Amino acid sequence: MSDPSAPIGVFDSGVGGLTVLRALRRALPSASFLYLGDTARLPYGTKSAATVTRYSEQCAAALIERGIGCLVVACNTASAFALSALERRYADIPVIGVIEPGAAAAVAASASQRIAVIGTEATVAGGAYQAAIRRLNARAEVSTRACSLFVALAEEGWTEGPLAEAVARRYLGGLFEGEAAPDTLVLGCTHFPALETAIRAVLPPGVRLVDSAATTAAAVERRLGADSGRGGGAVRWLATDGAARFARVGSLFLGEPLAAGEVEIVDL
């Protein structure tokens, strides 16, 4: 990052990326951040690669215009489809997605190298996690499951209890049965860590969960190194629609109160 005082830009289709921001703030407590949630156009996970790439480029441009020194793509679908384009366009600053760090953590965590990945429809169908894991270990066995309803549950704040567990059981039923069952599960959407309690409730004991938020924060910390952490610790909040809803649901993901008056609505 050329200017250590420049904020780190983070964007997501909505509030799910706040799990990444939360991890980043723990890893880099003195850095400043600029977070953009594209709430007017969520979810990204049901849209085409071309549309996700266009939206991602618009989000990135809005953050670049506001002087960021590092770009974190805190959305698995955007990382799957748009990361390469963003790296080419903004080659003068670090551009970091969530998939490569998550894949590396999964390979490191799995004793059997049988790994399951859950994500949105687009992330799973695009094959980015499968490809990233197999680049690290060609012999890894990767199974996937699209769990798109988890996004809606997380956005509504229905992250624990009978409803969340019933949905988790419906999605994950059969995936972890038999002698060749995966021993590691990648939460391949930044919304999914909010449902960790419900997901764990339906998993066999001993299955390791990989949260791409924590692994991405560690990757950003390694990338920025000594040049990070001199921005004062402030966070500026941007959204494309619904400041009150962003603040209400975002508070659940962030783990602390967020006021609607702090959220600036921007037009991309």
Does 175 lie in the same domain as 92? no
Residue of higher predicted confidence among 229 and 59: 59
pLDDT (average), residues 254-263: 93
pLDDT (average), residues 229-256: 88
Contact 59, 79 (CB under 8 A): no
Does 205 lie in the same domain as 151? yes
Does 219 lie in the same domain as 204? no
Does 191 lie in the same domain as 112? yes
Q: Which residue in 59, 70, 75, 147 is the catalytic one?
A: 75
Does 180 lie in the same domain as 115? yes
Q: Would you say residue 1 lies in a domain?
A: no
189 is catalytic: yes
Domain boundary among 176, 192, 212: 212
* pLDDT computed for residue 43 by the predictor: 87
Does 81 lie in the same domain as 29? yes
Q: Would you say residue 3 lies in a domain?
A: no
Domain boundary among 212, 231, 254: 212
Q: Would you say residue 20 lies in a domain?
A: yes
Contact 41, 56 (CB under 8 A): no
Q: Would you say residue 64 lies in a domain?
A: yes
* pLDDT computed for residue 240 by the predictor: 98
Does 108 lie in the same domain as 208? yes
Q: Would you say residue 168 lies in a domain?
A: yes
Does 160 lie in the same domain as 128? yes
Q: Would you say residue 200 lies in a domain?
A: yes
167 has pLDDT over 90: yes
Does 91 lie in the same domain as 38? yes
Q: Would you say residue 2 lies in a domain?
A: no
Token pair belonging to 249:
């649901």
147 is catalytic: no
> CA-to-CA distance for 106 and 165, rounded, in angstroms?
23
Domain that holds residue 37: 8-97+215-265
66 CB contacts (<8 Å, ≥6 apart)?
7, 9, 34, 236
* pLDDT tens for each residue of 20-51: 999 999 999 889 999 999 999 988 988 999 99
Domains in the chain, number: 2
Does 52 lie in the same domain as 33? yes
- Residue 34: CB atoms within 10 Å: 21
Residue of higher predicted confidence among 125 and 230: 125
> CA-to-CA distance for 266 and 268, rounded, in angstroms?
6
Q: Would you say residue 14 lies in a domain?
A: yes
* pLDDT computed for residue 84 by the predictor: 96
Q: Which residue in 59, 70, 147, 189 is the catalytic one?
A: 189
CATH number, domain at 181?
A: 3.40.50.1860
pLDDT (average), residues 124-134: 94
* pLDDT computed for residue 1 by the predictor: 45
pLDDT class for 2, splitting at 50, 70, 90? low
* pLDDT computed for residue 12 by the predictor: 96
pLDDT (average), residues 244-267: 93
Q: Among 116, 133, 126, 102, which Cα is nearest to 216's?
A: 102
Rounded mean pLDDT of the chain? 92
260 has pLDDT over 70: yes
3 has pLDDT over 80: no
Does 225 lie in the same domain as 93? yes
Does 92 lie in the same domain as 219? yes
- Helix (H) or strand (E) holding 224, with range, is helix 212-224
Q: Among 266, 264, 253, which Cα is nearest to 21's?
A: 253
Token pair belonging to 195:
């449902």
* pLDDT tens for each residue of 185-239: 999 998 899 899 999 999 999 999 999 888 899 999 998 875 566 556 799 999 9
